[in-house]
Structure 1
Amino acid sequence: MTAANVHGPIDFVLVEFPGDKLTSEPAEAVADLVERGVVRLYDLLVISKESDGSIRELELTESRSGAFTMFAGARSGLLGEDDVREAAAAMEPGTVAAVIVYENSWAVPFVAAVRGSGGELIASARIPAADVTALLDTLEPAG
């Protein structure tokens, strides 16, 4: 089994910001994850949803796309027009959002080891961080 045949889990996130509040910090965090090999970036696009509900995909060279300009051209083809419409439907009017599709490349060695041992992933789920935090807050401190 070659490394080309093994992939980590592929996820997407949709992060929304009020108006023009898309700053450089999120872009820098994504760049850091990519540079350290934690994730592999497949797609990154920025969507604007105007106060009248109209939507527009922003070019990553536009000022409204924030510092995500460094990711211009990050398009694998995994995201289509239906995905853009679905993302925009989740957005509030007067906001801008980034849709990021990425591979959890940190998991590739684990996936390769599982498959190399004859194992297969049979279930997977994502537990939202807010749910974990809320649960941990209800637990009594150990001791």
Structure 2
Amino acid sequence: MQDQMVAGPVDFVLVEFPDDADTKACGDALMDLVRRDVVRLYDVLVIRKALDGSYSGLDLTDVTSSGIGGFSVFDGARSGLLHDDDVRAVAELMRPGSTAAVLLYENTWAVPLVGAVLDAGGELIASQRIPAPDVIEALNRLETGLPS
């Protein structure tokens, strides 16, 4: 690769949980991706939205009672890329009475591909994420022979 900075695509994911959820396996799965250098974690924010619609950020060291203690190992994962406006927008998507984790991560698995594309003079001209439930539904329809 030439003397240019190369980064993989960065994704933002919001996962919402009921307060009694056991999220240990979620935190373990995310840690596995980080350890294997599949993703580079930039931010983990935890937000609770009250029944009245108000919201607040939670300290990851205090989340065990909120049902998302599985993410407490990521305490301190703050890049500064997410701001108050982002938290406000996320809170608007949440259901009242829920707790959510905001994950901002780089897909480091893609760095070699991005570098090769750039070295070849290419550029990304479009990108879109297809939600996993949509893919599963389409695959199930194909498997059963139903029209899409």
Answer whether TM exceeds 0.5 for this pair: yes
Q: How does 1:1-143 map to 2 (within 5 A)?
A: 1-2=2-3, 5-62=5-62, 63=64, 64=66, 65-140=68-143
Gaps of at least 5 residues in structure 1 are none
SS in 1 for 2:12: strand
SS in 2 for 1:111: helix
**Runs of 4+, deviation exceeding 3 Å:** none
The Cα shift of 1:20 comes to 3.6
The Cα shift of 1:73 comes to 0.9
Given residue 32 of structure 2, which amino acid in structure 1 is its aligned partner?
Answer: D
- The 10-residue stretch of structure 1 (42-51 or 128-137) with the greater mean CA deviation from structure 2: 128-137
Any idea what the Cα deviations from partners look like across 1:18-53, whole Å, max 9, x if unmatched?
124252111111111000000000100100111222
Q: How many residues align?
A: 141
Separation (CA, whole Å) in 1 of partners of 2:99 and 2:26: 13
TM-score, normalization: structure 1? 0.91
CA RMSD of aligned residues (A): 1.7
TM-score, normalization: structure 2? 0.89
The Cα shift of 1:93 comes to 1.0
